[in-house]
Amino acid sequence: MYKFRNVSLNTSTLNATVKRTPLQTEFTSYLSVASSIPNLIFLALNTAISHRISLNTRVLGSLAFMLLLMLQTVIFINLNTDQWQQLFFGITLAVIVLLNVCSAIFSGSIFGVVGKFSPIYITAVIGGQALGGVFAALAEIVSLFIGASSTHAALVYFAIGNVTIIISIICYVVLVKSVFFKYHLLEQQDFGEFDNKSASLNISSKVIVKKMWCHGLSVLITFTVTLSVYPGVTVLIESEGKGHGNRWNDVFFVPTINYLLFNIGDYLGRLLAGRLLKPKSLTVLMILSTARFIFIPLLLLCNVQLKHSWDVVFDKDYQYILILFIFALSNGYLANIVAIHVPRVVDHHEKEIASSIMTVFMGVGLTLGSAISLLIVKIINR
């Protein structure tokens, strides 16, 4: 918001009365597209190269490169980019692309490995993914709460991100040395000789896809719906009380509701799926995933800024909060229940590849949803 403000007005964009610039309005949607496309490509590549490059190289290499990119982001915080906003916009998107290349390799590797463990560990990793969103939202709120300038608040926020990556590297090094981790990895390696030949691997992948394509389609639909409106559209939904000088409505509403509440709902949904382990029926899963399309018009009928074509139906904050929470809860629940069921429909030696393929289906959903989101934002911003 600060970097892409209208510099000619000589005022902070956090002021509720200042109209957003096109870069401010569309940045989140462009961010989603720049994230999802490289994420999809490298999730697919990771599935292909997972048996040619060691797990440690993929995980530690991706984390180390992510740390370098995040350090570069910290440097840009204190650079005055007012006179070259378009260039900074392009550089930022390029960094996002590279970050998501690393993220895809990292997450694809982790999800592939966790497929060898029992469902409780799958829930832990899936839940951790959502909990990371909660942590990031809290970091953003803290950076705003300190009341410093936009640049100082951003410095705190991205410094927390860098520290988190360093902690992740340390945790992974400790993890791979544990007897428990080595046992499950070695146990899996005892099954089958197909890992050694790429031809056998290709045949196995086709067989695996035939066994789990319905699960993959379900998660694809789930993430397509979610990314169609979150966060590109939901970040534009404002509080009913914005513009009256209340910091909750003007400053904290979007980060607290759009990011923190969503990620809490997503996290709770994933935990709930790990406990209930239902539905097991593929038909029910597909119906539930498809039914979530109703959330797209529901959220568009909330208090979306810049909307000109239709009236606001859900103009109260509590209505938007309820819709968003159910939206997040269903996303987390369906994402985890599918991830739990997939290792059960394939043979033991196919679990790692099956889990990696699931991340590809997820990446396709993220990409489609991001493209739809950008289209929606451009339409309502006319």
DSSP character string of 41-76: HHHHHHHHHTTTS-HHHHHHHHHHHHHHHHHHHHHH
What amino acid is encoded at 199 in this protein? A
**Contact in structure between 218 and 341 (CB atoms under 8 Å):** no
pLDDT of residue 12 exceeding 60, the answer is no
Looking up tokens 């568009």 gives: 300
Q: How confident is the model at residue 251, as a pLDDT?
A: 87
Q: What percent of the chain has pLDDT over 70?
A: 91
Q: How confident is the model at residue 196, as a pLDDT?
A: 44
Q: How confident is the model at residue 78, as a pLDDT?
A: 86
pLDDT in tens, 150-181: 888 888 888 888 999 999 999 999 999 999 88
pLDDT of residue 106 exceeding 70, the answer is yes
Please state, in angstroms and rounded to a whole number, the distance separating the CA atoms of residues 351 and 342: 8
pLDDT in tens, 225-253: 999 999 989 999 999 988 888 889 988 99
Q: CA distances (Å), 42 to each of 39, 67, 91, 107, 347, in order? A: 5, 18, 20, 10, 25
Looking up tokens 């390799």 gives: 105
Domains located in the chain, CATH noted: 20-380 (1.20.1250.20)
Looking up tokens 């169609």 gives: 228
pLDDT of residue 111 exceeding 70, the answer is yes
Q: Hey, what are 170's tokens?
A: 């340390």
Under DSSP, is residue 182 helix (H, G, I), strand (E, B) or coil? helix
CB-neighbour burial class of residue 191 (10 A; exposed 0-12, middle 13-18, buried 19+)? middle
Q: How confident is the model at residue 95, as a pLDDT?
A: 95
Is the model's pTM score more than 0.85?
no
Worst-scoring range by mean pLDDT, 15-29, 277-291, 328-342?
A: 15-29
pLDDT in tens, 245-298: 888 998 899 999 999 999 999 999 999 998 888 888 889 999 999 999 999 999
Q: How confident is the model at residue 123, as a pLDDT?
A: 81
The mean pLDDT of 29-52, rounded to a whole number, is: 84
pLDDT of residue 190 exceeding 70, the answer is no
Q: How confident is the model at residue 198 (pLDDT cuts 50, 70, 90)?
A: very low
- For the chain, how are helix, strand and coil distributed in percent, rounded to 5? 80, 0, 20
Looking up tokens 């100082």 gives: 152
